Amino acid sequence: MASLSMTDDSRFGLRRQVRLAGPLPLDSGAALGPVDIAYETYGTLNADRSNAILICHALTGDQYVASDHPVTGKPGWWWRLVGEGKPVDPARHFIVCANVIGSCMGSSGPASLDATTGAPFAMRFPVLTIADMVRAQAMLLDHLGVARLAAVIGGSMGGMQALTWPTLFPQRVESCIVIASTARHSAQNIAFHEVGRQAIMADPHWRGGDYYADGQVPSAGLAVARMAAHITYLSEAGLTEKFGRRLQGRDAKTFGFDADFQVESYLRHQGLSFVERFDANSYLYITRAMDYYDIAEDHGGSLAKAFTASKARFCLVSFDTDWLYPTAESRIIVHALNAGGAQASFVELSSPFGHDAFLLECPELNRVVDGFLKGGRA
């Protein structure tokens, strides 16, 4: 019955946006309301509402998990995992992916208008946490009529959200897939983010975050932030294989500061194309949320305690060349889950591509995710 009406229901489909009254109480003590959430749904919620899967995106990701990006025109960022004939398949699953709050693709963030002033929030937007993002997702699922998730899946920051879900809503999550992620941000993780934030705030166009009026955005600072971060997404071996010390469009070094090397040119391109689709203040807010993330800290220092109320099955995947969220971080989660007797699976997959591997071609990842999701129905 539900399935027949879904095509007529404006809550479901591509490029959806909803304004939820809230207010959403935040970890900081502040509250956010109303809360705008931009999202997409794929597939159909079945009659007993047991086939819902929430996909959580990474730092600079968005809701376009399996449809073309409206700005870049590129295919959905996880089309390899989500789509027809893929492990997460709209033919079988009802799939939801929402832009996290704090971001800039249609959900409430620093670029949104503050109803009390009529101007963009900028740095007056409340500081958020990963848990706040998850609570906003729960509000969206309430709106969509989804009480329980067959699975919540995410990579990188998406994995942080996925792992947070069963700690906040143990009754709502049946299984949880956490890929290339961690249970807490390390000092090194925080350090790299701080470099990015300082680059943004050092840009004269940043102006304390109030740059929306005249279109003079801190693109140089944001590009540098992206360049620094991008290095952490790749492996040393991957960079060497892709670029080595090869020169860019020239036969000899220029003895100047042009992008002599291919790797420089590549990073500059990454930085420049990023500023076209991302808001610098959102970058500040979301990196901050990641830095504040430490699930054990929220549970008296015990990661195992965070999951004791949950009956969920867990699947963790790391990549051997990922030095941003290395395998050791996934093992910490696995050990905590084992200590609590949770049904946990964990595998370290091999890839030359570093942290980015979770977004790239990896048949083994698809096999693991597919088997894990189907295993729940055995």
Partner 1 sequence: MSELLRPDLALIARTVRQGARVLDVGCGDGALMAALRDNAGVDARGLEIDGSNVADAVGRGLSVVQGDADTDLRYYPDASFDYAILSQTLQTTRRPDLVVEELLRIGRQAFVSFPNFAHWRGRISLLWGGRMPVTRLLPDTWYDTLNIHHVTVDDFRALVKERGWTIDGQWFLKGDKETTHANANLFAEHAVFLLRK
Among 128, 224, 344, 357, binds partner 1 (CB under 8 A): 344
Q: Encoding tokens for residue 78?
A: 């996880």
By CB under 8 A, tell whether 15 contacts partner 1: no
By CB under 8 A, tell whether 309 contacts partner 1: no
Among candidate residues 156, 181, 219, 351, the one labeled active-site is 156
| Cα 156 to chain centroid, rounded | 6
What number of chain residues touch partner 1 (CB under 8 A)? Answer: 26
CA dihedral sign, ordered 41, 42, 45, 51: negative
Q: How far from each other are the two terminal CA atoms of the chain, in whole angstroms?
A: 26
User: SS3 of 24, please?
Assistant: strand
Using the CB atoms, write b or e for 316-349: b if 16+ within 10 Å: bbbbebbbbbbbebbeebbebbeebebebbbeeb
Active site includes 318? no
Q: How far is the CB of 363 from partner 1 (least distance, A)?
A: 10
Active site includes 322? yes
Judged by beta carbon, residue 123 or residue 347, the one nearer partner 1 is: 347
Q: What are phi and psi of 96, to 5 degrees?
A: -120, 130
Looking from the CA of 160 toward its CB, the CA atoms found within 13 Å total 26
Q: How far is the CB of 200 from partner 1 (least distance, A)?
A: 38
By CB under 8 A, tell whether 370 contacts partner 1: yes
By CB under 8 A, tell whether 264 contacts partner 1: no
Query: What CA–CA distance (Å, rounded) separates 18 from 35?
Result: 8
By CB under 8 A, tell whether 148 contacts partner 1: no
Among 39, 346, 353, 358, binds partner 1 (CB under 8 A): 346
By CB under 8 A, tell whether 376 contacts partner 1: yes
Judged by beta carbon, residue 278 or residue 314, the one nearer partner 1 is: 314
By CB under 8 A, tell whether 28 contacts partner 1: no
245 is in an annotated binding site: no
By CB under 8 A, tell whether 311 contacts partner 1: no
Among 133, 227, 334, 359, binds partner 1 (CB under 8 A): 334
Query: What CA–CA distance (Å, rounded) separates 286 from 292?
Result: 10
132 is in an annotated binding site: no
Active site includes 156? yes
Q: Encoding tokens for residue 233?
A: 């997404």
Query: What CA–CA distance (Å, rounded) separates 288 from 291?
Result: 5
Q: Encoding tokens for residue 14?
A: 């591509």
Query: Which region among 21-29, 98-106, 143-151, 344-352 touches partner 1 (by CB under 8 A)?
Result: 344-352
Using the CB atoms, write b or e for 12-32: b if 16+ within 10 Å: beeebebebeeebebbeeeeb
Q: How far is the CB of 78 from partner 1 (least distance, A)?
A: 19
DSSP secondary structure code for residue 99 in this structure: P
Q: What are phi and psi of 303, to 5 degrees?
A: -65, -40
Judged by beta carbon, residue 32 or residue 151, the one nearer partner 1 is: 151
By CB under 8 A, tell whether 305 contacts partner 1: no
By CB under 8 A, tell whether 312 contacts partner 1: no
Query: What CA–CA distance (Å, rounded) separates 144 from 53?
Result: 12
Binding residue ranges for substrate = 226, 356
Binding residue ranges = 226, 356
Residues assigned a catalytic role: 156, 322, 355
Give residues in contact with partner 1 (CB under 8 A): 313, 315, 331, 334-335, 338-339, 341, 343-350, 364, 367-368, 370-372, 374-376, 378
